[in-house]
A = this chain, B = another copy of it.
Amino acid sequence: MNNIELNLLKEVADMRMGKPLMGAFNIRRNGEGIERKSTEDVAIIPKTDKPGIDIIVKPGSKPEDVHIPVIVTESGVKDKVYNDFIIGEGAEVTIVAGCGIHNCGSHDSQHDGVHKFILKKGAKLKYTEKHYGEGTEGAGKRILNPVTIVEMEEDSYCEMETVQIKGVDSTKRDLDATLGKNAKIVILERLLTHDNQFAESNMEVVLKGEGSSAQVISRTVGQDNSVQVFNPRVIGEEQCTAHVQCDSILMGDAKIRSIPEIAAEHPDAMLVHEAAIGKIAGDQILKLMTLGLTAEEAEQQILNCFLK
């Protein structure tokens, strides 16, 4: 692996040696799986009918980390991949996915990951997905359109963290989650767009089971001439609770639209939504400047805290 590839793997999956130190993993580069390892509890099996892998976590398995990063370093690659995750009854697992694109050529590079998760009864999943782009010398764009489907059985728990901090020209994210009895989902979205980037995030969480709950926290920063659109949607079909919180910081000439929906279809659904869009308050900057920071440093400090 060359330095560009190693750096992408570090950025998106925190792999410092080109592969994880422990646990099952699968590394995909320019549309092909290049290395793969299963463990006793986690089987990673390449699909035979289409690009992608099945990740099967044994029922009752102990907490384990699984890494499945994707990197694209050739300009003009258009990769679509289907990954299915089956988390067995009572299993606990952390999955680190992510996609890094280095594109300094003149053609667009694109990766569309379609991820389907099935969480069996009592399963616990922590999933992080980091998107990162670099190599902006050429005219070729870096495009990432992830689709995520989550089906949660009784008493299962899912924490999803999606991060896109830098270098992705265009993204359209779709997340659909369906929750069974007492299932709980926590979704953390962190997104920064700059230059002329575009980001759209659609989310639909259906609370089908009694006692199910959802928490969505979206924090985004729009810089320069970038555009962001958010459509988080929560539907309560049973006694359930949901809290959706979207905060966005406006900088430069960025434009941000937030169109959330909460729909109560059951008398015991309890749904709350909050959204705020605005620039950083001047007094926050001033306060940090009195501590010796420049205006730029103060702004960066605030953004770092906000997106942490």
Chain A interfacial positions (CB closer than 8 Å to B): 248, 250-265, 267-279
Contact = CB atoms under 8 A, between A and B. Distances in A.
User: Binding site of A, secondary structure by majority: helix, strand, loop or mixed?
Assistant: strand
A264 B256 contact: yes
Contact of A260 (B254, B259, B276): B259
Report the copy number of this chain in the oligomer.
2
Given A258-B262, A259-B260, A277 B267 contact: no
Contacts of A260: 259-260, 273, 275
Contact of A263 (B253, B257, B264): B257
26 contacts: A250-B264, A250-B267, A250-B269, A256-B263, A256-B264, A257-B262, A257-B263, A257-B264, A258-B263, A259-B259, A259-B261, A260-B260, A262-B277, A264-B277, A264-B278, A267-B279, A269-B278, A270-B278, A271-B276, A271-B277, A271-B278, A272-B274, A272-B275, A272-B276, A272-B277, A273-B273
A230 to B, nearest CB: 10
Given A257-B263, A258-B262, A264-B277, 11 more contacts: A248-B264, A250-B264, A250-B267, A257-B261, A259-B260, A260-B260, A260-B273, A260-B275, A271-B275, A271-B277, A271-B278
A275 B273 contact: yes
Contact of A251 (B261, B262, B267): B267
Given A257-B261, A257-B262, A261-B257, A252 B275 contact: no
A268 B263 CA distance: 31
A46 B231 CA distance: 45
Nearest first, the 3 closest Cβ-Cβ pairs linking A and B are: A270-B278, A257-B263, A259-B261
Contacts of A272: 274-278
Given A270-B279, A276-B271, A279-B270, A255 B250 contact: no
A248 B263 CA distance: 11
Contacts of A261: 257-259
A301 B254 CA distance: 46
